[in-house]
Structure 1
Amino acid sequence: MKRDLDLIRNMLLLIEAHDKPSSMSSNDFKNLNPDVNVIDYHLYLLADSGYIDYMDVNTIGHFYPQIRVNWMTSSGCDYLDAVRSASIWKTTKNKLSEIGGQASLDVVKTVAEHFALSALGI
């Protein structure tokens, strides 16, 4: 399955908007993508990259790991802060399209931070 950078950004925005620390399951993200496998895979990617604090709740019959999100980590907050602005995100995605539209999350964050610094005149 291909990583969806828009979905990752939107999932982090949803986690941040959650009122209190709690366990968010894949059901809490269905409005972003109705395919539970896509959501589960991207939750796994967020956990694997250290962007969320989570619990494994694997169940039989699921292809991807089942994860319950507790909250976003400092690394997750840093990534989200880099890609939060809609205009910075659009510019970042346009730049990434020059290399095929995909890059590591670290590269995406660095590109977004570059555009943010440029917007600040730094």
Structure 2
Amino acid sequence: MKRDMELGRKILLVLEEKEDFSTPIIPEVPEHTKIEVAYHIKLLHQAGLVEAINWSSDSDNEWEATTLTSIGHDFLDAARNETIWKKSKAMVLENGAAMTFEMMKIALTETLKAQLLGSPS
């Protein structure tokens, strides 16, 4: 399964709205299967963006998220704005870099920095 940065961002947005962080969930994300969402929760957990529980067995892959980490909140705060998100994705792709959560953190930081300093990005 391919990593989908848009799906990862959508999961973070849903988790941010959770009131109860003691109950793990696999959020419903339109146009994505439960398996895709669970897999991306695993990836977000491995990237340090969410806390999650691995309920997987030999026959299925079931990761459930509980909450964002502090790093996850920072990432989402930078990625929340659609314009910033799109510019950051374009920056990564234009430079031929791998579309990873770490590269997106760097691109988001640079895009926000350019916006704050008033220079074009």
CA distance in 1, matches of 2:95, 2:51: 31
**3-state SS of the aligned residue for 1:54?**
strand
CA distance in 2, matches of 1:60, 1:111: 37
Name which of structure 1's ranges 47-56 and 107-116 shifts more when overlaid on structure 2. Answer: 47-56
> Identity over aligned residues, as a percent?
26
Shift in alpha-carbon separation, 1:101–1:38, aligned structure 2, 3 A: farther
Q: Which runs of 5+ in 2 are unaligned?
A: none
| Amino acid corresponding to residue 35 of structure 2 in structure 1 | N
Name which of structure 1's ranges 73-82 and 95-104 shifts more when overlaid on structure 2. Answer: 95-104
Q: Name the TM-score, length of structure 2 as normaliser.
A: 0.84
For these two proteins, the number of residue pairs brought into alignment is: 118
Q: Name the TM-score, length of structure 1 as normaliser.
A: 0.83
Shift in alpha-carbon separation, 1:97–1:42, aligned structure 2, 3 A: same
Note the aligned Cα RMSD (angstroms).
2.0
Q: Which runs of 5+ in 1 are unaligned?
A: none
Listed one character per residue, the Cα deviations across residues 64-117 of structure 1 (whole Å, up to 9, x for unaligned) are 3x1222111111112112211111001112222324574221111111111111
CA distance in 2, matches of 1:5, 1:61: 26
| Amino acid corresponding to residue 10 of structure 2 in structure 1 | N
Q: Does 1:40 align with 2:20?
A: no
